[in-house]
C-alpha cells in the first residue's frame, strides 16, 4: 500500500494544467496592472504634454525652451512606462515563483527561499 | 565622529564595516612590495564605504542571517574596483586632491597609478575566483563603467536634457550600485532598486557639488569647465541662451561664471527631480525586499547628500 503523504497519479496529472492556468492568470493580471498604470500615467501627464506642445508651436522665444522640456517629458514618459511594465512583470514572476514553490521543491532547497540561478 | 562614521552608525552597520576594514588592512599587507605604498595611499583618507553599505543593506533586506564572510569579501572586492575607478578618474580629470590628500598619480606618478589600478582589478577578480556569480557581475560592472566614462565624455557640451543625464548617471554610478544590490541580495530582485539608488546618488552629488560652489561664491569647477552634463546643467540648458553658454568650448571665465549661476538657479527644480527618483527607489524597496527598512535608510541617507 502506498504511503499516504505521497502525491497520487491523479494529483500529478492535475499539476501541469494548474501550472499553465495559474501562470496564465498571473501573466494576464500583471499585463492588466501594467496597462492600467500606464494609462493612469498618461492621463496624469497629458495636460502638461498638451500645454508644452502648444507652447512649442508658437513663434515666441519661449517655444525653444518648451520644445526641450517637451522632449524630456516624452522621453521620461516612455522610460516610466517601460519601468512600470518591467516592475509588474517582475512582480508577476515573483508571484508565480511563490505560487509554485510548494508544488516542486528541490531536494535540498528550503521552501521559503528562491535558489540562485547561476550558470556555472 | 565624521559624517561618514555617523551614517555607518545610523545604518547599524558598524560591525560589518569593522570586518570590512580589517579585511582591507590584511589585503593591503599582502600586496606586492613594489606597489604596496601606492596601494596603501589609494585607501587613505576618509572613506564613506557607501558601496559596501549598499551590499550589506541588500543582504539584510533579503536574508534573516547576519552578513556572512563571503559577503564581506564581495564588499572588499567592490571597494578595490571602486578605488580603481577613482584612480583613473583622477588621472583623466587631472585632479590634484582626493579625500583631502594628494591623488595617487600626483604623489607617485602616472605609471605607478595606472599599474596600481590594474593590480586592483586583477586582485579583485582573484579574490572571487571561486564565485562565478560575483565574477560575472563584476565583469558586467567594469564593462559598463568603461563605456559610461566614454559616453559621458562624448556627450559633453551637447544640447541634451534630463533624460540624457539619467542615461549617463544610470550607466556610471547606477551600474555600480546595481551590481552592489545584486551581489548583496545574491539575486536580481533588487537590481532596479540599486539602479535608482545609484542615479539618486549621482544626482545628489551633482547638486551637492553645485551647492558647494554656491557656498564658495560660485565659479567654474571641473564639471562646468569640462562641459559635463550634470543634473542642474541639464535643467539649465533648457533655456536656449544658457544652452549656448554651455555648448561653447573655451576658458572664458565670464561665460563659466554665467553658466554656473544659471545652474544654481535650477537647484530647487533639481531637488524635485531627485525627490521623484527617491520615491521610485522607495517603491522598488517596498515591493521587492522582504525587509525594506535597511534600503529605506540607505535612500534617506543618499537623499541628504544634496543638502550638505
Tens of pLDDT along B23-62?
999 999 999 999 999 999 999 877 889 999 999 999 999 9
How many angstroms away from the CA of B272 is the closest CA of chain A?
Answer: 14
CB of A50 closer than 8 Å to CB of A116: no
Give SS3 for A102.
Answer: coil
Chain B residue numbers touching A94 (CB-CB < 8 A): 189, 288
β-sheet bridge partners, residue B98: B101
Residues B76, B23 contacting (CB under 8 angstroms): yes
pLDDT for residue B7: 84
pLDDT of residue B216: 47
Query: Of A27, A77, A24, which Cα lies nearest the Cα of A47?
Result: A77
The answer to whether A86 faces chain B, any CB pair under 8 Å, is: yes
Cell for B48? 564613506
Chain B residues with beta carbon closer than 8 angstroms to that of A75: 161, 163
CA distances from residue B140 to A6, B174, B282 in whole angstroms, order as listed: 45, 12, 25
Whole-number pLDDT of residue A109 = 52
> HEC string of B104-129?
HHHHHCHHHHHHHHHHHHHHHHHHCC
Residue (of B184, B181, B223) closest to B199 by Cα position: B181
Nearest CA distance, B163 vs chain A (angstrom): 6
In angstroms, the separation between the Cα of residue A14 and the nearest Cα of chain B is: 30
pLDDT of residue A60: 83
B30: its cell numbers: 599582502
Nearest to B139 by CA among B96, B183, B103, B92: B183
CA distances from B197 to B51, B191, B213, B299 (A): 11, 10, 24, 7
Does any CB of chain A come closer than 8 Å to the CB of residue B118?
A: no
* Whole-number pLDDT of residue B10: 85
Pairwise CB contact (< 8 Å): A120 & B132: yes
Task: Please give the model's pTM, rounded to 2 decimal places.
Answer: 0.89
Does A60 lie at the interface with B, CB-CB under 8 angstroms? no
Which of B159, B184, B195, B238 best tests the A interface by mutation, with the highest count of A CBs <10 A? B238
Q: Is the pLDDT of residue A115 over 50?
A: no
Is residue B17 over pLDDT 90?
yes
Condensed to tens digits (0 to 9), the pLDDT of residues B155-202 reads 999 999 999 999 999 999 999 999 999 999 999 999 999 999 999 999
Give the mean model confidence (pLDDT) for residues A26-36.
Answer: 96
Which residues from chain A sit within 8 angstroms of residue B189, using beta carbons?
A: 90, 94
ipTM: 0.83
Amino acid at each position: 500500500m502506498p504511503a499516504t503523504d505521497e502525491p497520487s497519479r491523479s494529483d500529478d496529472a492535475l499539476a501541469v494544467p494548474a501550472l499553465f492556468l495559474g501562470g496564465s492568470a498571473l501573466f494576464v493580471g500583471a499585463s492588466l496592472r501594467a496597462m492600467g498604470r500606464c494609462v493612469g500615467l498618461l492621463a496624469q501627464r497629458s495636460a502638461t504634454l498638451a500645454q508644452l506642445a502648444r507652447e512649442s508651436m508658437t513663434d515666441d522665444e519661449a517655444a525653444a525652451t518648451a520644445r526641450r522640456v517637451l522632449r524630456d517629458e516624452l522621453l521620461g514618459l516612455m522610460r516610466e512606462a517601460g519601468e512600470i511594465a518591467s516592475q509588474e512583470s517582475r512582480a508577476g514572476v515573483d508571484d508565480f515563483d511563490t505560487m509554485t514553490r510548494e508544488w516542486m521543491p528541490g531536494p535540498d532547497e528550503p521552501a521559503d527561499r528562491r535558489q540562485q540561478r547561476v550558470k556555472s | 565622529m565624521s559624517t561618514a562614521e555617523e551614517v555607518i552608525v545610523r545604518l547599524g552597520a558598524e560591525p560589518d564595516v569593522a570586518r570590512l576594514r580589517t579585511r582591507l588592512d590584511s589585503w593591503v599587507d599582502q600586496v606586492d612590495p613594489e606597489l604596496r605604498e601606492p596601494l596603501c595611499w589609494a585607501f587613505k583618507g576618509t572613506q564613506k564605504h557607501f558601496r559596501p553599505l549598499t551590499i550589506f543593506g541588500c543582504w539584510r533586506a533579503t536574508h534573516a542571517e547576519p552578513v556572512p564572510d563571503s559577503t564581506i569579501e564581495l564588499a572588499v572586492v567592490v571597494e578595490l574596483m571602486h578605488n580603481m575607478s577613482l584612480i583613473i578618474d583622477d588621472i583623466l580629470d587631472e585632479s590634484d586632491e582626493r579625500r583631502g590628500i594628494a591623488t595617487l598619480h600626483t604623489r607617485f606618478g602616472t605609471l605607478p597609478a595606472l599599474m596600481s589600478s590594474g593590480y586592483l582589478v586583477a586582485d579583485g577578480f582573484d579574490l572571487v575566483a571561486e564565485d562565478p556569480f560575483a565574477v560575472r557581475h563584476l565583469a558586467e560592472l567594469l564593462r559598463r563603467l568603461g563605456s559610461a566614462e566614454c559616453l559621458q565624455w562624448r556627450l559633453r557640451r551637447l544640447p541634451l536634457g534630463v533624460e540624457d543625464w539619467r542615461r549617463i548617471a544610470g550607466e556610471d554610478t547606477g551600474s555600480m550600485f546595481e551590481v552592489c544590490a545584486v551581489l548583496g541580495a545574491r539575486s536580481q530582485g533588487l537590481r532596479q532598486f540599486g539602479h535608482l539608488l545609484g542615479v539618486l546618488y549621482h544626482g545628489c552629488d551633482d547638486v551637492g557639488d553645485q551647492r558647494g560652489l554656491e557656498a564658495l561664491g560660485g565659479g567654474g569647477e571641473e564639471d562646468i569647465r569640462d562641459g559635463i552634463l550634470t543634473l542642474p546643467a541639464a535643467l539649465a540648458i533648457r533655456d536656449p541662451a544658457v544652452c549656448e553658454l554651455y555648448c561653447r568650448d573655451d576658458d572664458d571665465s565670464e561665460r563659466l561664471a554665467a553658466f554656473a549661476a544659471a545652474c544654481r538657479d535650477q537647484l530647487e527644480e533639481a531637488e524635485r527631480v531627485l525627490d521623484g527618483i527617491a520615491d521610485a527607489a522607495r517603491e522598488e524597496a517596498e515591493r521587492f525586499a522582504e525587509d525594506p527598512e535597511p534600503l529605506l535608510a540607505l535612500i534617506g541617507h543618499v537623499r541628504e547628500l544634496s543638502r550638505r
